Amino acid sequence: MNQQERNMTTFIITSLLVGLAVVGLGVSIFFSRKGRFPETHVGHNKAMRERGIDCALSADRAERARKRDDFPTR
């Protein structure tokens, strides 16, 4: 087996493994009723909301608005 055949074999095996990984990771998405990725955003996660944990961006936005409202105007 020469170098070119070995490289082609490695490429094919690698492509098959990557394809298998993609299919394996997507099985729950492909075959679920909703067909969507699970929600991973902190602000939309029910368990995080029950613990009182907010999204950092939303908390920062609320804090900036509160400080802006507290700032005296001329």
Contact 54, 41 (CB under 8 A): no
Judge if pTM exceeds 0.75. no
The H or E element that residue 28 is part of is helix 3-31
CA-closest candidate to residue 9, choices 29, 1, 46 = 1
pLDDT (0 to 100) of residue 6: 94
pLDDT (tens digit per residue) in 27-62: 877 777 666 666 777 777 778 888 888 788 887 888
Domain boundaries, the chain: 3-70
CA angle 39, 45, 47 (to 5 degrees): 135
pLDDT at 18 over 80: yes
